[in-house]
Amino acid sequence: MGIATVNPSTGETVKVFEPLVAEEIDRRIGLAQQTFEQYRRLSFAQRAEWMHRAAQILIDERQHFGKIMTLEMGKPIAAAIAEVEKSASVCRYYADHAEQLLADVTIETDASHSFICYQPLGVILAVMPWNFPFWQVFRFAAPALMAGNVGILKHASNVPQSALAIEEVFLRAGFPTGAFQTLLVGASQVSQIIADDRVKAAALTGSESAGVSLASAAGAQIKKMVLELGGSDPFMVMESADLETAVATAVTARMINNGQSCIAAKRFIVQESIADAFTERLVHKYAALKLGDPMNPETDIGPLATAAILHELHEQVEACIASGAKVLIGGNPETVPTRSIVALQHGNFYPPTILTDLPIDSPSRQEEFFGPVALLFRVPDLDAAIELANSTSFGLGASAWTQNPEEQQRCMRELEAGSVFINGMVKSDPRLPFGGIKRSGYGRELGAEGIREFVNIKTVWVK
């Protein structure tokens, strides 16, 4: 269908957009380059004024923007509104801290004066996913624009109204025309954009296959890339953990965004001595989750974003069952209560599901499940837990629950991930660098490291 808003709750096509033709893409990139030549010279104070204004627009109209997200990709409305608020927070963080983070750094050498300065690169391409339509874009755009770069956005093709709304926020905030543009283009047009000499670097958040494709194209042009790809994050629970808090957090960590988050907890690795108690509580809480219309504030879980995602997820679950896995709850999309509601009969709903007893040679132990499906494993001790946690090709985030200081230290040092959270849920924070290792990507967003990804870190030596 191309670029279109398709309501995932009903299957209804709401609005269809024509992708930009090559000539218009060229014009937009030219506008971005022209804008950059002036924008890079503006003061941090001026950029910060506009960025604060963008944050205020988001806060003032968070209900409106939240409804756009829920309509396009199905996240519960309360979560969508919270996402808009978080997007405002990243705008404010970089508005307040960019000048300090990019200040010159004096280094004592044999020169009369030597220092490091940080200068913008130019036009940066952002290829962003549908699962957090506002947050993913703003966590790229806020540091990039505050550093003096300009951005062009290729958003996922199923969230075009979110993409256009974000561009409008920056324009209304006062940023010059061309400082941030949304390009409604298909995936096949991205290689043309990254090959353009005026585009200096790119960031991609998305699937492993999308990352491979864009990184290959950028590599051929010797252009900087930041990749945040998939994850199969472990959620380790040892016998000293606060069990009630761990179980409650496990539900949130798996079901956030209808289970469609790269940093959602996906593999629950529980010490044998407490596994029965943990499992009983987890199943009970899963059974209490309300699945339904995401526009209803009481809904806990809405539909998956597309019919293709629903189909792929169920194929993964069926493969697990065929290999010998046991279903503790869920596992059959035909049993969800939404099937009795006429308006929702064609929605992409999948029930909260827990699978256990997965054979050690099951391919599913290495896969990312992008939906409300938890994989539950039992281990005898911390050594086995860490070994299992590190056994995938992913390395995005990891959560470990233990009150034992020695175990905490081992988890901090030995878990192979870009982020390790002890007794807490993995999350992104504007103040901390975010990203992965192994096949979860490279480079960092957020924090000081994030704003320095798309700058020229220039050494200056004077005598």
The catalytic site residues sit at 228, 262
Tell me if 145 sits within 8 A of 121, measured CB to CB: no
Amino acid at 328: L
Pairing outcome for strands 441-442 and 13-17: unpaired
Q: How far apart are CA 211 and CA 435, in angstroms?
A: 13
Q: How far apart are CA 152 and CA 46, in angstroms?
A: 21
CB-based contacts of 281-288 (< 8 A; 24+ apart in sequence): 281/243, 281/244, 281/247, 282/247, 282/250, 282/251, 282/354, 282/374, 282/376, 283/328, 283/329, 283/354, 285/247, 285/248, 285/251, 286/251, 286/329, 286/330, 286/352, 286/354, 286/374, 287/329, 287/352
Q: Which helix (H) or strand (E) holds 457?
A: strand 455-462
Residue 161 CB contacts under 8 Å (≥ 6 apart), including other chains: 5, 15, 68, 71, 72
H-only helix segments in 74-131: 77-101
Q: How far apart are CA 329 and CA 336, in angstroms?
A: 12
Q: How far apart are CA 355 and CA 352, in angstroms?
A: 10
C-alpha closest to that of 311 among 333, 343, 337: 333
Q: How far apart are CA 316 and CA 183, in angstroms?
A: 33
